[in-house]
Structure 1
């Protein structure tokens, strides 16, 4: 079995963590595969991951190494090709500056009353159902998608469409869904219509502000506008869904920690940070390429080599975290890298933290006896390469 096959088979389940531990001990700069010219590498140790994420020697712009087709049949992918997440300075600096004001801690704090209202509404809907629900479908997914939709100005009746589009597009990182092209086309058509509506009748929402920036013609192109909205809707809410679901699953797995949190709600922020570390919502950083030949801790990484940082592995590094394999909501030194590091540190981190904190506070105060459905032995992890999240989380109370 090849190295990449072993990685894929071990991934997205708790069994991945022993695999990462072996790599940290024996092959911390792990060669996943080679095409004879370029290698693909995975970095697993905490200090190495941070060094990789901040180093200008590892870049996002793959066009420096590979030609990109501009043929008509490739145009559907334009909404993915100008993402802030996948470009280097100065484009990254320019794009991030455009949306940074909407995601700074002061601005996000103003959303707290509305996020609490949304959590209350979702919990009231849950209580009207049977006493067994899917915590992902009924709570962890809708809460962040409602929040980001309202920030963007997406009508409430259209939110369900984003679940289909989001699942298809994110899952395509693992294997191509047969509906992928249809969903991308539908998503692009929808955004085009929304842009035209906001262009004709601007509102006080993020889409309207970004449309105005695109109209100015200097700071944002139309393709960058598509990519920015895709990033905010899909990447933004997907990670928060995983944060809420993964943290609750970890608490269910560790009932003594759950009891601590229920007895002392001031521990909830610590539980969120530990959830981010223990079951990191993002398994791997997005791709980077070596911009030059470099000796990286004893391994020669050549220009054009593909590099991934294992966020999940770094956050379980025993050299950085005491009792790293233990889930502890009272952990004091928790400098995890769940939101990345360096210039690509997650723009939405303040929002994700606030949503996670409110989600747990409301859930545990409203349904204090909530527990994992006893018919479920072990929930299934989604088969999405870059992300770590649960397909479902059946709960009862």
Structure 2
């Protein structure tokens, strides 16, 4: 694909070549079309922002709205009607509604609650690794990277153990990216099932509250009252959906890149305190969220000399912004000791008022998952170190993750 100021089709962003190495394409776009018009399959006029400076500004620009009700026709063309009931949450709203919802959820989803999960995350990781074969190749994604965050989220929300495999199945179906009628029907059914499930679970928590986040959310109040019934259901869905695949793919990407960069892995293993900046660098280098969720222009706006007309959708390529050489030295190199590897340097968790609410939990899960994995299996290797990794083939880049991650935990000497 040659980056020009002509519109980029979604298909060009989803070829096997692009999925294998989107960073080369983004590098071209940053130089030749940093704010690039697109022709996505849903038919809505869309612009792609790729430079760090523009991306950071756009993420907190009040002229770029997150309120789906202001662009309902475009929303329905992309997601259909069934998602509306599950999307009445802070991710899809602007101030003052966003401010109110975020304040209420923050009051229940506290740093203390997140940090208290540490021992439980370590236990879950250990139990999952107990069930993995040590000497033969297997796929680490379904055995470890995917079940770990779904179990953590179910514990956090208070989903009963017998329902957790069902939750994983529904969450995976909703997260499918595609525009085929078959995909839309499957997503609609899963969304309806999730709405019904969380409605019943919230009613149960209200009658019999427990020490979990969903019980806390049903009870939380401020001067404006509490969360409405639909806001509660939608918030539970958001926490489950947003925290599952993103963390799973982050763990998978991180393991793959550390195994592919043995000097970086050795540095982390020799100095355990590096795990925190290492996770920040891994999020910057190849995080699991390639593009931020949709925004739309409430008026004509201009970035990088390109006019984005009122009503157009805006996609912000976080993966591209995090490899911008105007912000990061040698951005295509993985460096766990990168100077200034602070949490607010990269845009992997967003920026501004919509900064990822679950970022502290995702960081903790990634840190403990990697530590537990490499402490227990220091000789772990990719099953085929010389082979090409197989990345997700999706019709619209939202997640950045591996389709599989074959490894050997303890290869024979």
TM-based fold match above 0.5: yes
Aligned counterpart, 2:4: none
Contact in 2 for aligned 1:290/1:304 (Cα 8 Å): yes
Partner secondary structure for residue 295 of structure 1: strand
Question: Does 1:158 find its partner at 2:163?
Answer: yes
Question: Does 1:292 find its partner at 2:304?
Answer: no
Aligned counterpart, 1:390: 402
Aligned counterpart, 1:94: 100
Q: 2: CA distance between counterparts of 1:323 and 1:194?
A: 49
1:189-200 paired onto structure 2 within 5 Å: 189-200=196-207
1:280-319 paired onto structure 2 within 5 Å: 280-319=287-326
Provide closer, same or farther for how the CA distance between residues 175 and 388 of structure 1 changes in structure 2, counting only shifts above 3 A.
farther
Partner secondary structure for residue 19 of structure 2: coil
Alignment root-mean-square deviation, CA: 2.6
Structure 2 unaligned blocks of 5 or more:
2-6
Contact in 1 for aligned 2:202/2:233 (Cα 8 Å): no
Aligned counterpart, 1:322: 329
User: Aligned match of 2:146 in 141, 144, 147?
Assistant: 141
Aligned counterpart, 1:112: 118
Q: 2: CA distance between counterparts of 1:49 and 1:247?
A: 23
Provide closer, same or farther for how the CA distance between residues 97 and 369 of structure 1 changes in structure 2, counting only shifts above 3 A.
same
1:333-372 paired onto structure 2 within 5 Å: 333-334=340-341, 335-372=345-382
Partner secondary structure for residue 196 of structure 1: helix
User: Aligned match of 1:210 in 209, 217, 223?
Assistant: 217
Contact in 2 for aligned 1:76/1:184 (Cα 8 Å): yes
Provide closer, same or farther for how the CA distance between residues 79 and 389 of structure 1 changes in structure 2, counting only shifts above 3 A.
farther
Aligned pairs, number: 391
Aligned counterpart, 1:21: 27
Q: 1: CA distance between counterparts of 2:126 and 2:311?
A: 50
Aligned counterpart, 1:79: 85
User: Aligned match of 2:50 in 35, 44, 52?
Assistant: 44
Give the C-alpha shift of residue 267 in structure 1: 2.0
Provide closer, same or farther for how the CA distance between residues 34 and 185 of structure 1 changes in structure 2, counting only shifts above 3 A.
closer
User: Aligned match of 1:235 in 242, 245, 248?
Assistant: 242
Aligned counterpart, 2:271: 264
Q: Deviations over 1:7-39 (max 9, x none)?
A: 23268723211100000011001111399x973
Farther off after superposition, 375-384 or 322-331: 375-384
TM-score by length of 2: 0.87
Contact in 2 for aligned 1:173/1:386 (Cα 8 Å): no
Question: Does 1:58 find its partner at 2:64?
Answer: yes
Farther off after superposition, 360-369 or 379-388: 379-388
Contact in 1 for aligned 2:289/2:319 (Cα 8 Å): yes
Provide closer, same or farther for how the CA distance between residues 267 and 69 of structure 1 changes in structure 2, counting only shifts above 3 A.
closer
Partner secondary structure for residue 126 of structure 1: coil
User: Aligned match of 1:377 in 356, 373, 387?
Assistant: 387
Partner secondary structure for residue 328 of structure 1: coil
Contact in 2 for aligned 1:285/1:386 (Cα 8 Å): yes
Question: Does 1:124 find its partner at 2:113?
Answer: no
Q: Deviations over 1:191-240 (max 9, x none)?
A: 222123223222121222223359x9943222222211111111112211
Q: Deviations over 1:86-106 (max 9, x none)?
A: 111111111111221344434
Q: 2: CA distance between counterparts of 1:317 and 1:257?
A: 21
Q: 2: CA distance between counterparts of 1:11 and 1:200?
A: 53
Provide closer, same or farther for how the CA distance between residues 351 and 102 of structure 1 changes in structure 2, counting only shifts above 3 A.
farther
Contact in 2 for aligned 1:57/1:290 (Cα 8 Å): yes
Give the C-alpha shift of residue 134 in structure 1: 1.8
Q: Deviations over 1:130-156 (max 9, x none)?
A: 632321111111211111111110011
Q: 1: CA distance between counterparts of 2:290 and 2:110?
A: 25
Provide closer, same or farther for how the CA distance between residues 360 and 65 of structure 1 changes in structure 2, counting only shifts above 3 A.
closer
Aligned counterpart, 2:283: 276
